[in-house]
Amino acid sequence: TSIMEDEIYMLRERKNYLRNHVNVKAFEKIKKPS
């Protein structure tokens, strides 16, 4: 079960990373008007 928990943890971390990355990109787009 520990391997399963590690995989779930990794997936959750990756999802959080992607969400933060998208937020940063959107924030940068808002910051500098095109």
**7-26 pLDDT, tens per residue?**
999 999 999 999 999 999 99
Q: From CA 31, how far away is CA 15, in angstroms rounded?
A: 24
What's the pLDDT at 34?
61
What's the pLDDT at 15?
96
Closest listed residue to residue 14, CA positions, set 4, 22, 3: 22
What's the pLDDT at 10?
97
What's the pLDDT at 31?
84
Structural domain spans, the chain: 1-28
What's the pLDDT at 4?
94
